């Protein structure tokens, strides 16, 4: 289908312009509230439950929710939705087990505003190896993750406006950098809240419109069954070949386990954990958890329905399954409404990329610049170093994005890297008082290296996060045989654990 630039440029350009101006406006609005590095990185720990919940989930899901997941379901049927199930379970466990304790523990650990600082203070690591190793992991994997968002942005503008992907990627990067540069954590959190609401609306409206166009739920189910019964089974995989859909096989145990294993990644995602650290108090977590779960379940269900509806609605198969959401809006929705729904794709991209840029900026500023070079740097200097670090990382991600790649594939790699490197270390640091700095460093390094090595060498269908988390956990347990346990008690009466419970 030809891009809609000539047919409906005015409504779509207007919607995108209003949306982008609003995001930059929020950055300008909170500019004067960002005076210290703590403000820039963590917003002074002032997030309300709704803002923490919506901004966490919006930054979590990224462009893959509206592009990658519907594309996977469109290409393989309901059997591709194990990822969604794993993510829903992981979201709940992360908010339930990690959020309240991490909020209290990071403040107790000398008011740590980054994960790297938390690791160093929690394990009383005077060598700075934990801080530097975690900062390196953050910089490497977030460069890949931000690149995935810019690739998604290029795909969006290319499909909607016919703009060259390089130009589109450049524009998306500039807008994200501007408001993150200006407002830091508060700008990112407030914009992500708006973006999260926009994403949710789009993922409710678009499937409903597409299902109505298909003749209703019953008619759509009948149509899918007529195409291939495998399209509606969690345990079979469908595919399109020779002009027809057919069941191509049974979803393997490895594929099911790999899909569910996406949930393991939640425990190690710095941009999500930052919202737990920045929420007003541990007592605000239960309300945030409920809001987050409603958002996640509705959004994931909507994305799956988009993929299924696209199979019925399009007479000709899509050359690129990841444009299913965009094409449904173009063909089924009034251009003026569609423009704002398409802006939801940009919202998904930006809500994740801005959070990731901020986390990397924090790592470069707090964990390299101040920790290694200028421990006595004034707060005003640190804020500006953080701002320019945002620009530097954005340039690296931009160059990676120009190399291309699938949105889901890039997200999958970065998600596994963080989940394996940080997940076991975070969880055990909150629940196991005998863990040492040696164990933490071993788990971090082994988890990250396993993900990279497995992806490059194994040639297996098993998602690399599984061996990464398993070996990372073993490394923590074995490594903690060496080193000295922290002198402060991190479990028992009067500890942060008790405070979190109160």
Alpha helix segments (H runs only) across 77-228: 82-93, 99-108, 115-122, 129-161, 165-213, 217-227
Residue 287 has which token pair?
């309300």
Write out the residue range of the structural domain in which residue 290 sits: 5-501
Average pLDDT on 377-392 reads 75
- Report the chain's mean pLDDT, rounded to a whole number: 81
Average pLDDT on 474-494 reads 80
Give 136-187 pLDDT, tens digit per residue. Answer: 888 888 777 777 777 777 777 777 777 776 777 777 677 777 766 665 666 6
Give 181-221 pLDDT, tens digit per residue. Answer: 665 666 667 777 877 888 888 899 999 998 888 888 899 99
Q: Confidence band (pLDDT; 50, 70, 90) for 5?
A: very low
- Total domain count, the chain: 1
CA 417 to chain centre: 13
The domain that holds 94 is classified in CATH as 1.20.1730.10
Question: How far apart, in whole angstroms, are the C-alpha atoms of residue 78 and residue 304?
Answer: 8
| Side-chain half-sphere exposure of 290, counting CA atoms within 13 A | 5
Residue 425 has which token pair?
């270390």
Residue 398's pLDDT is: 79
Residue 52 has which token pair?
């923490």
Question: Which residues neighbour 294 within 8 Å (Cβ) at sequence distance 6 or greater?
Answer: none
The winner for highest mean pLDDT among 330-334, 435-439, 480-484 is: 435-439
pTM confidence score: 0.84
Question: How far apart, in whole angstroms, are the C-alpha atoms of residue 4 and residue 159?
Answer: 8
Question: Which residues neighbour 483 within 8 Å (Cβ) at sequence distance 6 or greater?
Answer: 436, 437, 438, 439
Q: In which residue are the tokens 């605000």 written?
A: 284
Q: Confidence band (pLDDT; 50, 70, 90) for 427?
A: very high
Average pLDDT on 267-277 reads 88
Q: Confidence band (pLDDT; 50, 70, 90) for 42?
A: low
Share of the chain above pLDDT 70, in %: 85
Residue 7's pLDDT is: 46
């Amino acid at each position: 289908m030809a891009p809609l630039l000539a047919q409906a440029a005015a409504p779509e350009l207007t919607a995108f312009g209003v949306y982008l101006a609003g995001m930059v406006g929020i950055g300008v609005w909170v500019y004067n509230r960002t005076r210290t590095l703590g403000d820039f990185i963590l917003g002074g720990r002032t997030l309300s439950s709704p803002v923490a919940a919506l901004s966490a989930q919006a930054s979590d899901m990224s462009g893959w929710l509206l592009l990658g997941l519907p594309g996977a379901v469109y290409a393989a049927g309901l059997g591709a939705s194990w990822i969604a199930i794993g993510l829903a379970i992981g979201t709940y466990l992360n908010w339930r087990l990690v959020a309240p304790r991490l909020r209290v523990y990071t403040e107790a650990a000398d008011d740590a505003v980054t994960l790297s600082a938390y690791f160093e203070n929690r394990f009383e690591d005077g060598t700075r190896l934990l801080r530097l190793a975690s900062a390196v992991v953050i910089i490497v994997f977030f460069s890949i993750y931000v690149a995935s968002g810019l690739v998604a942005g290029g795909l969006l503008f290319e499909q909607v406006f016919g703009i060259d992907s390089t130009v589109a990627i450049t524009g998306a990067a500039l807008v994200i950098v501007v408001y993150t540069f200006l407002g830091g954590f508060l700008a990112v959190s407030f914009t992500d809240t708006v973006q999260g609401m926009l994403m949710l609306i789009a993922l409710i409206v678009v499937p409903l419109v597409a299902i109505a166009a298909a003749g209703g739920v019953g008619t759509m189910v009948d149509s899918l069954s007529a195409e291939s019964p495998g399209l509606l089974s969690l345990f079979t995989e469908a595919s399109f070949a020779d002009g027809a859909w057919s069941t191509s096989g049974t979803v393997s145990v490895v594929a099911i386990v790999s899909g569910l294993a996406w949930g393991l990644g939640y425990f190690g995602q710095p941009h999500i954990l930052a919202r737990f650290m920045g929420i007003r108090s541990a007592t605000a977590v239960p309300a945030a958890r409920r809001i987050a779960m409603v958002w996640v379940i509705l959004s994931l269900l909507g994305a799956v329905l988009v993929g299924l509806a696209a199979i019925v609605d399009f007479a000709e198969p899509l050359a690129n399954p990841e444009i299913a959401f965009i094409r449904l809006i173009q063909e089924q929705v009034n251009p003026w409404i569609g423009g704002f729904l398409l802006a939801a794709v940009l919202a998904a991209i930006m809500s994740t990329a801005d959070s990731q840029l901020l986390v990397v900026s924090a790592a470069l500023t707090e964990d390299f610049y101040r920790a290694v070079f200028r421990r006595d740097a004034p707060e005003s200097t640190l804020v500006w170093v953080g701002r320019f670090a945002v620009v530097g990382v954005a340039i690296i991600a931009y160059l990676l994005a120009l190399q291309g790649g699938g949105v889901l594939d890039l997200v999958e790699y970065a998600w596994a890297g963080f989940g394996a490197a940080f997940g076991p270390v975070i969880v055990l640091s909150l629940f196991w008082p005998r863990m040492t700095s040696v164990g933490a460093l071993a788990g971090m390094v082994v988890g990250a290296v396993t993900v990279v090595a497995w992806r490059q060498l194994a040639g297996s269908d098993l998602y690399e996060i599984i061996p990464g988390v398993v070996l990372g956990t073993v490394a923590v347990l074995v490594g903690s045989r060496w080193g000295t346990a922290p002198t402060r008690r991190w479990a028992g009466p009067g500890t942060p654990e008790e405070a979190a419970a109160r």
